[in-house]
Amino acid sequence: MTIIIGEGDYRYDVTENWGTLPDGWRYGEVAAVGVDSKDNVYVFNRGKHPMIVFDRAGNVLRSWGENIFARPHGIHVAPDDTLWCTDDGDHTVRHMTADGRMLLEIGVPGEPAPYMSGDPFHRCTHTALSPTGDLYVADGYGNARVHKYAPDGKLQFSWGEPGTEPGEFNIVHNICCDEDGWVYVADRENHRIQVFDGNGRFETQWNNMHRPCGLCMTRGRNPIAYIGETGPSMAVNANHPGIGPRISLWTLDGRRIARAGDATRQKPSQFIAPHGLAVDSRGDIYVGEVSRTAMKNKGSPIPDEQDIRCMQKLVRIT
């Protein structure tokens, strides 16, 4: 059955359960997705094989990360095709080669900073690189901070406090940089994207979204930000229409241009929890979903042996 979602110039043919896994493998759930310069797809997941690398057709090329990651959360593919991997389970950020060799580790595995202390890290969530190679770390679940590091891993400064005012955060969940060095932060439980300059000065915010989790953006002329809105997290509003889960497309001046997905949960194309997003060179979207976590949070029983949809590919219709 053909499944088409989206609107206007941004309509997509959906491939559910994308990627052909070897017999006996499973994702657990997919926290993040990245695409390199060759359109290879890196699926950072919470199964026994944390990083599974696919070609564009969904064939497995390799896997790595076993016995390294405690709880995969975020991935950023650098211009040189190395990867910055964020592990909120052991409070670390690791710079990895495409074949799984570690180049740099920031943070001490298993030793979080004190809760809401502002010091790195307490359940860090994601990373982004500036055009000059500085690293921004979203931190995260146990902090309300963004940390800026030099390319060699030296901490430069941090900003952010718990709260709802501009420059304050309620779960710093994801982060991106554009080609001009502006920093975009998915402030999840404040239901907004905050925009800062490279020194942490608040510029503006985008509203009218619900629990932004996934965040990525294209490069070049007329870039687009792709936002995965995970929708309601409580049983009391689990079936409330109009608040997701869905994917929203925004211009970088804060104008929403399209949405894909709805909150009816009546169609096979319905998202469960679009937690990680990546876009390839052809404009196709790869969507990683933390389906088990989302369904448990809403009070839905999930048998351990049950396979839940974790990966989808949205092929853009041109």
pLDDT surpasses 90 at 268:
no
pLDDT of residue 264: 53
Tokens (6 digits) for 288: 């990683």
pLDDT at 173: 98
Grade residue 303 by pLDDT with cuts at 50, 70 and 90.
low
pLDDT digits (tens, 9 = 90+) for 185-212: 999 999 999 999 999 999 999 999 999 9
Q: Return the pLDDT at 221.
A: 86
Q: Which residue has the higher pLDDT, 265 or 203?
A: 203
**How far is it, in rounded angstroms, from Cα 32 to Cα 186?**
14
Q: What is the mean pLDDT of residues 267-290?
A: 90
- Token pair 């949070």 in the structure block, residue: 297
* Residue 233 pLDDT class (50, 70, 90 cuts): confident
Please, are residues 229 and 250 in contact by the beta-carbon 8 Å criterion?
no
- Mean pLDDT, the chain, as a whole number? 93
The residues pairing with 146 across neighbouring beta strands, listed in sequence order, are 138, 159
Q: How many whole angstroms separate alpha carbon 209 and alpha carbon 308?
A: 25
Asked if residue 297 has pLDDT above 80, the reply is no
What pLDDT band is residue 312 in, cutting at 50, 70 and 90? Answer: very high
Domains of the chain as residue ranges with CATH: 4-316 (2.120.10.30)
DSSP the chain: ---EEEETTEEEEEEET-SBPPTT---S-EEEEEE-TT--EEEEESSSSSEEEE-TTSBEEEEE-TTT-SSEEEEEE-TTS-EEEEETTTTEEEEE-TTS-EEEEES-TT-PPPTTSSSS-SSEEEEEE-TTS-EEEEEBSS--EEEEE-TTS-EEEEE-EESSSTTEES-EEEEEE-TT--EEEEEGGGTEEEEE-TTS-EEEEE-S-SSEEEEEE--SSS-EEEEEE----SGGGTT-TTS-SEEEEEETTS-EEEEE--S---STT--S-EEEEEE-TTS-EEEEE-HHHHHHHTT----TT-----EEEEEEP-
Is pLDDT above 80 for 241?
A: yes
- Cα(162)–Cα(179) distance, rounded to whole angstroms? 28
Q: Read off the pLDDT of residues 73-95 as tens digits, 9 standing for 90 and up.
A: 999 999 999 999 999 999 999 99
Q: pLDDT at position 239, please?
A: 79
% of the chain at pLDDT higher than 90: 83
Which amino acid type is present at position 118?
Answer: G
Amino acid identity of residue 160, one-letter, is G
Pairwise CA distance, residues 241 & 239, whole Å = 6
pLDDT tens profile 150-186: 999 999 999 999 999 999 999 999 999 999 999 999 9
pTM of the model: 0.95
Q: Alpha-carbon distance 318 to 11, whole Å?
A: 8
More confident residue, 128 or 265: 128
